[in-house]
Amino acid sequence: MSEIVHRQVETNGISMHIAEAGTGPLVVMHHGFPGLWYSWRYQLPALAAAGYHAVAVDQRGYGRSDRPVDPALYDADYVANDMLGLLDALGEEKAIFVGHDFGAQLVWNLSVRHPERVAAVVGMACPYDFDLAGRGGMGSKPKQAADGFQAEFAVADMKPSEVFALAAKRHFLHLHYFQTIGPAEKELGANPREFLTRLFWALSVRGNLLDWTKFPSEGTGYLDVLAPPEMPLPWPWLSQEDLDYYVAEYTRTGPDTTFIGGLNSYRVADRNFELGAKYADSNVEVPAAFIAGSADPVLKMIRPDAIDIMKSRCTDLRQISIIPDAGHFVQQEQPEATNVALLQFLATLR
């Protein structure tokens, strides 16, 4: 089995931590929130054994990578340029990009905005044309409202943050709660273990994602809408040692920046909406695949035709794999099945 090697790479003005294994065609994996390079701990050795140079990154704002505080330094251009700089640092013209959650948003954007650097793309959990910050088109073209990701408000002429604020007049909405710098840092930074435990549980196959529309905005924090786990660790997919690693890596820099990468990704929704306007109708034309858990609550919340839309917007969509008995964290909850699906797609490129 190939050893996983860790190092720091200078890219786009930051120091980025990467974990890598194997040699061959380059496959770069991007986590979401909450996540780390460690979210790909099962994929790194499998890809290396199959003849690939597998790289998993700590995104800007996470783990051992630099954590700028200014939200403006997390917009779609910045995170894309992080990846272009990583390719340059690795001496590669292009790579196969794999992304989960916010990482999926990143790799879909890369495939549209910098197709010359993308050999192929794999989105996990979030299909193309869906934006985790609450609107369609990867932050570019409004297609749905933020309220439960359902079309409850007319949003065509509104910024994402205005949609979030409108929804928050009726009930708690984490998208709105995260917009203000301070409250989320204070709440989640003071309770990192509890937050990670509750969110990992809520989004997993056995979890229970509470209906935030039943909570008022006033006086409600994010932990209030995340139910405690119904079973102690270890879970089938997450051990106590796994959680300890996540907590240790997130808390390396103190409470104010513990979750800065994820929080700032939500805070650039308006900026990404502006940056993405000219790509609103762009299709993904590189070879593509989509992988998700059958019980992923994110898939359940977004518009029911999201996968059909993705099919129409990806001109070379070679594979859709819906993995049984998996929630949002599909590559960790069902690593073997995910690896099989991933390697099946990669085989079509050779």
Question: Does 163 score more than 90 pLDDT?
Answer: yes
Task: Write out pLDDT tens, residues 71-91.
Answer: 999 999 999 999 999 999 999
The mean pLDDT value of the chain amounts to: 92
Q: Which residue has the tokens 């949002």?
A: 328
Q: Distance (Å, rounded) from C-alpha 39 to C-alpha 79?
A: 18
* Residue 126: per-residue pLDDT: 95
Question: Does 60 score more than 60 pLDDT?
Answer: yes
* Residue 152: per-residue pLDDT: 47
The one catalytic residue in 17, 31, 53, 328 is 328
The one catalytic residue in 101, 131, 147, 242 is 101
Q: Distance (Å, rounded) from C-alpha 55 to C-alpha 51?
A: 13
Q: Which residues contact 338 (CB under 8 A, 6 or more apart)?
A: 42, 43, 124, 291, 323, 326, 330, 331
Q: Which domains does the chain have, with CATH numbers?
A: 5-347 (3.40.50.1820)
CA dihedral 334, 336, 342, 344 (to 10 degrees): -130
- According to the 3-state scheme, what is the secondary structure of 42-93? CHHHHHHHCCCEEEEECCCCCCCCCCCCCHHHHCHHHHHHHHHHHHHHHCCC
**Catalytic annotation present for 101:** yes
* Residue 148: per-residue pLDDT: 44
Question: Does 43 score more than 50 pLDDT?
Answer: yes
Question: Does 179 score more than 60 pLDDT?
Answer: yes
Question: Does 109 score more than 60 pLDDT?
Answer: yes
Report strand pairing: 288-293 vs 317-323.
parallel
Q: Distance (Å, rounded) from C-alpha 337 to C-alpha 241?
A: 23
> What is the mean pLDDT of the segment spanning 289-310?
90
Question: Does 2 score more than 50 pLDDT?
Answer: yes
Name the pTM for this structure: 0.94
Residue 121 exposed, middle or buried by CB count within 10 Å (0-12, 13-18, 19+): buried
Task: Write out pLDDT tens, residues 319-344.
Answer: 999 999 999 999 999 999 999 999 99
Cα end-to-end span (Å), the chain: 22
Q: Which of 116, 104, 130, 110 lies closest to 29, judged by CA?
A: 104
DSSP letters for 110-135: HHHH-GGGEEEEEEESS-TTB-TTSS
* CB neighbourhood size of 283 (10 A): 14
- Phi (first) and psi of residue 264, to 5 degrees: -70, -25
> What is the mean pLDDT of the segment spanning 103-112?
97
Question: Does 239 score more than 80 pLDDT?
Answer: yes
